[in-house]
Amino acid sequence: MWDRILDRMLRDLFVIGAVEITYPDGTTRRYGENGEVPVRVTMTDPSLPRQLVLNTEIALGEAYMDGRLTVAQDDVEGLLALAVQNSHRKEKVWWREIGQKARRARRRFDQWNPAYKARQNVAHHYDLSGELYDLFLDADRQYSCAYFADPEMTLEAAQDAKKHHIAGKLLLEPGMEVFEIGCGWGGMALTLARDYGVKVLGVTLSEEQHKIATERAAAAGLSDRVRFELRDYRSVTGQFDRIVSIGMFEHVGVPHYREYFETVHDRLKDDGVALIHTIGRSTPPGATSPWITKYIFPGGYVPALSEMAAAVEKAGLYPTDIEVWRLHYAETLRHWFNRFVANEDMARALYDERFCRMWRYYLKACEVTFRHHGQCVFQYQMTRRQEAVPLTRDYLYPADRPRRMAAE
C-alpha cells in the first residue's frame, strides 16, 4: 500500500527533469520528463516508503544519513535540485501544501527562543569539535556568506572582501565602540580592531567560540581593544557607536524580532549605525525544514524581508540601505562542500560515517536552496537618525576606486 501511495505522490511531484527510483522490493519506476537523463535512487529499507509518505523531508534526510537510500555517483545535489525545483514550481503539489500548512501553524512554538533555549540551540551546532570547522571553513573561520566580487576569488579572498564590505557600511572611525551580536570565532571583531582602530565587544552563547575568540585576541595582541563575552545579547547594557551582526539573526526566532530590534535601537547612540547581515528568503514568510530543525539548527528560521521590515519599523529604527546578495552563498557553500569532502577522512575520525553523510546532505541542501529556491542574503543598514549616513552609496563605491585598485 505504501509503495502505491508514494508512487502517486512522486508522479504528482516530478514534472521537471527525471528521477528513477528502485524500491525495496526491486521494482524500478521512472518519474518526470521523457528523454531526460534521470537521477538514480535506490531504497533498501522496506519501511522507507511509509516513512517518506508520512514525513517526507525528515525521512529523506535520515535515509540518506543511514545509507538506507543511496544515489548513483552520490549525486545528492542532483536529487535535491530536482526535489526543490519541482516542489516550488508555480503549480502547487497538493501533498506538499498540507505539510507546509502544518509547519507554518507551529512555527511560533518552534522558534520560541528565550535565553536558556537559545543557549541550548547554539550549543547543538556551534559547540561541535573545533577541528570539524577547520576542515571546511577559511583560516579566519568565517561561517557566513562570502562576497565574491570576482567569481574566481578564493574562499579566503571572498571572506575577506565580505568583512571589509561590511566595515565600509559601518562608516567606522578610529576609537569608535562597536557591539557585535554573535561574534562567532572572533574574526570580524579582530579585523575591525586591527584594520580600523575601533574597540569591539563581541558576545556569543557558544562556549567553544568564546574560548577560541578570546585566545585569538590575546595571540593577536588585541585584548585591549577586543573583548568577548559569553552572554546573551539582550543582557548587554550601555550604548555603542556601531552595531554589527553577521549570520546570527537566523537564530533569533520570529517571536523575538521586535525584542531584537528594540535592543539594537536601545544600544545605538543617537548618530549610530547598525548593519545586520542575515540569510533571507525572497518568498513570503514560511517555515524551516523539519530535517534542518532536528539535525542542524534547532530554533533557526530564515526571515522574509517583510518580517524584518515590520519589526524594524516598530522598533523606531530608520532603514538607510538594504542590499541583496543572490548567489554568493551558493558559491560559499560549494567551497565548503568541496573542502569538507576533501577532508572527510578526518571528519570521520572525529565522528562517524553517519555524521559525514549528514554534513554532506546539509551543505548540499543549503546550496541547492540558494541556487533554485530564492534564498539570498540581506544586508540591512539602519540608524536612529536618517542623517547618520551619507545620502548616496558613493562612500562604498568612490569614483576613484578603479584608479586606486590599479595603483595597489
Whether this prediction's pTM lies above 0.85 is answered by yes
Cα 61 to Cα 357: distance, rounded to the nearest angstrom: 9
* Of 63, 86, 105, the domain-final residue: 105
CB-CB contact of 251 with 113 (8 Å): yes
- Same domain? 38 vs 140: no
Give the pLDDT score at 87. 82
Q: Are residues 129 and 94 located together in one domain of the fold?
A: no
Q: In this predicted model, what pLDDT tens digit does every residue of 242-289 receive, in sequence order?
A: 999 999 999 998 889 999 999 999 999 999 999 999 999 998 898 888
pLDDT one-digit tens code per residue, 79-125: 999 999 988 776 665 555 656 666 665 666 666 666 666 667 666 66
Closest to 267 (Cα-Cα) out of 327, 179, 198, 346 = 179
Q: Please give the backbone phi and psi of residue 65, each rounded to the nearest 5 degrees, phi first.
A: -60, -40
Do 100 and 119 lie in a common domain? no
**Which positions are annotated as active-site residues?**
366
- Give residue 17's domain range: 2-105
Does residue 355 sit within a domain?
A: no
88 lies in some domain: yes
* Same domain as 267, residue 400: yes
Query: 128 lies in a domain?
Result: yes
- Domain end marker among 40, 74, 105: 105
pLDDT tens by residue, the chain, 408 residues: 888 989 999 988 899 999 999 999 999 999 999 989 999 999 999 999 999 998 989 999 999 999 999 999 999 999 999 999 988 776 665 555 656 666 665 666 666 666 666 667 666 666 677 799 999 999 999 999 999 999 899 999 999 999 999 999 999 999 999 999 999 999 999 999 999 999 999 999 999 999 999 999 999 999 999 999 999 999 999 999 999 999 999 999 888 999 999 999 999 999 999 999 999 999 889 888 889 998 998 888 999 999 999 999 999 999 999 999 999 999 999 999 999 999 999 999 999 999 999 999 999 999 999 999 889 999 999 999 999 999 998 988 876 544 444 444
- Per the domain annotation, does 354 fall within a domain? no
For residue 338, being part of any structural domain is answered with no
pLDDT of residue 113: 66
Check which CATH number belongs to the domain holding 256 and give it: 3.40.50.150
- 275: cell is 548593519
Closest CA to 306 of 297, 319, 290, 289: 319
Give the 3-state secondary structure of residue 176.
Answer: coil
401 Cβ partners below 8 Å, 6+ apart? none
Task: Identify whether residues 91 and 236 lie together within a single domain.
Answer: no
pLDDT at 403: 42
Instruction: Locate all alpha helices (DSSP H) within 290-327, ordered by sequence.
Output: 290-295, 305-314
Same domain, 233 and 164: yes
- With residue 63 as reference, give the H or E element that holds it: helix 56-66
**For the packed helices 2-13 and 94-105, what is the interaxial angle rounded to 10 degrees?**
90
> Is residue 124, in this structure, part of any structural domain at all?
yes
Task: Work out how many domains the chain is built from and give that number.
Answer: 2
Between CA 262 and CA 257 the distance in angstroms is 8
Q: Which of 105, 123, 143 is the last residue of a domain?
A: 105
The answer as to whether 362 is a domain residue is no
- Is the same domain home to 166 and 94? no
Q: How many CB atoms neighbour CB 383 within 10 A?
A: 21
Question: Are 15 and 158 in the same domain?
Answer: no
Contact 163, 187 (CB under 8 A): yes
> What is the C-alpha separation between 126 and 332, in angstroms, rounded?
18
93 with 210, same domain: the answer is no
* Same domain as 119, residue 89: no
In a domain, 31, yes or no: yes
Contact between residue 350 and residue 132 where contact means Cβ atoms under 8 Å apart: yes
The DSSP secondary structure of 105-161, one letter per residue, reads HTHHHHT---HHHHHHHHHHHHTS-HHHHHTTS-TT---S----SSTT--HHHHHHH
Tell me, yes or no, whether 279 and 137 share the same domain.
yes
Residues 195 and 84 in one domain: no
d(CA 63, CA 42): 11
